[in-house]
Amino acid sequence: MARPHAKTDAVAATAELTLVEAVQRALARAMAEDETVVLLGEDIGVDGGVFRATDGLIARFGADRVRDTPLSESLIGGLPVGLAAMGFRPVAEIQFMGFIYPVIDQIVNHATRMRTRTRGRLSCPMVLRAPYGGGIHAPEHHSESMEALFAHIPGLRIVIPSSPAKAYGLLLAAIRDPDPVVFLEPKRVYRAAREAVVDDGGALPLDRCFTILKGSDVTLVSWGAMLQETLDASESLAGDGVDAEVIDVATLKPLDMDTILESVHRTGRCVIVHEAPLTGGFGAEIAARLAGEGLMHLVAPVERVAGWDTVMPLPRLEARYMPSVSRIVAAARRVLEYA
């Protein structure tokens, strides 16, 4: 039944898209090219998703392939495992990352193990999408960044796009990938800006970081929504003559440490920026590898600019929780001034 990866049209339309529109295009493209792609989630059908990531897809592909599930997150984690083992490519949506935890059991215990457990007899090519992160003044539990919980799970891929074009190319790659992928969408960026996206089915690689800005004085490493703050910080630093390199990790697991090491080799200094709480965040893994393989390159302490180690506050204080441009700039300065 499946014709994986077949291009369904020859005409590639370029459009200025928001990130959420790019997600929608990638989903539409994947569904058109491969009949085994099936979407599952709460309110993804007629409503088109609470952020409209699946807007119009039920009309185009039908209610069989764009399925509103009951309000059962544990099921949204587990049902795709069965579907995937039977040759489908389910793309499941969790409405907000704060509701993703019931899915972890199925991800750790089944999705990432089916292939190993059966020595390749069954596998689990599923994608689990969820909007993550703060900054939109949403209610409690709607602003979390917990990618690190997934990054510790063997056998998984974790992908976080930072822009519309990345979202399009990485999501297509995630859906075509033969193994389970957690795909986290920075909801603060969903409509923040537009970017030219060529809707030609072209995927981006899931095994490398992207160097967004070349520089020689300090390496700024980030992903997802925080890339904007990081770029703003690099601009502010540039004003003072500091030439920062900016790396978008994009795929956290497996991690392309080579790109980061090569950069830090040149700059000797590194600041890692993420929105998730500091302790046990994915920044720790990158810093730990710098403390290991990268130590000889370091001329200054590795700084991590992250969410505080406290509960993400309700909207009135959320701006004070999240890493700001000034916190990033201050950390970069400390690193640069380190003698």
Ligand X SMILES: Cc1ncc(C[n+]2csc(CCOP(=O)(O)OP(=O)(O)O)c2C)c(N)n1
Interface with a second copy (CB under 8 A): 74, 98, 101-102, 104-105, 108-109, 112-113, 116-117, 140-141, 146, 148-149, 151-152, 154-155, 253, 255, 276-277, 279-288, 290-293, 295-296, 298, 300-304, 308-311
Backbone phi and psi for residue 205, each to the nearest 5 degrees, phi listed first: -70, 145
Alpha helices, DSSP H only, in the chain?
19-33, 57-61, 73-85, 101-106, 114-117, 147-151, 164-176, 226-239, 257-267, 282-291, 315-321, 325-337
Which among ligand X, a second copy, another protein, none contacts residue 282 (Cβ within 5 to 8 A by kind)? a second copy
| Residue 119 binds another protein, judged by CB under 8 A | yes
Residues 50-89 interacting with ligand X (rule: CB under 6 A)? 71, 73
Q: Can you give the three-state secondary structure of 28-58, one letter per residue?
A: HHHHHHCCCEEEEECCCCCCCCCCCCCCCHH
Q: Does 143 bind ligand X (CB under 6 A)?
A: no
Give me the half-sphere count of Cα atoms (radius 13 Å) on the Cβ side of residue 200.
10
**Of 93 and 303, which CB lies nearer to ligand X in the complex structure?**
93
Q: How far apart are CA 136 and CA 215, in angstroms?
A: 31
Contact partner at residue 46 from a second copy, another protein, ligand X, none, CB < 5 to 8 Å by partner kind: another protein
**Region of 6-14, 20-28, 81-89, 211-219 interacting with another protein (CB under 8 A):** 81-89
H or E element: which one contains 211? strand 210-213
13 binds another protein (CB under 8 A): no
Part of the chain binding another protein (CB under 8 A), chosen from 100-108, 185-193, 219-227, 262-270: 100-108
Location of structure tokens 């459009």: 15
Least distance (Å) between residue 162 CB and another protein: 21
Is 5 a catalytic site residue?
no
- Nearest distance from C-beta of residue 107 to ligand X, angstroms: 15
Binding positions for another protein, 211-240, rule CB under 8 A: none
What number of chain residues touch another protein (CB under 8 A)? 80
Phi–psi pair at 268, nearest 5 degrees = 75, -5
The amino acid sitting at 68 is: D
Minimum distance from residue 196 beta carbon to another protein (Å): 29
Q: Which of 179, 199, 217, 248 binds another protein (CB under 8 A)?
A: 179
42, 179, 245, 275: which one binds ligand X (CB under 6 A): 42
- Which CB sits closer to ligand X, 107 or 336? 107
What tokens were used for 173? 């790659």
Q: How far is the CB of 10 from another protein (least distance, A)?
A: 28
Token pair in block for residue 103? 């899915």
> How far apart, in whole angstroms, are the C-alpha atoms of residue 77 and residue 80?
6
Q: Which one is catalytic: 110, 142, 274, 297?
A: 142
Q: DSSP secondary-structure letter at 309? A: S
The three-point CA angle 281-195-148 to 5° equals 10
**Site residues (CB under 8 A) for another protein, limited to 274-293:** 278-279
**Distance (Å, rounded) from C-alpha 215 to C-alpha 263?**
9
Contacts to ligand X by CB under 6 A: 42, 71, 73, 95, 99
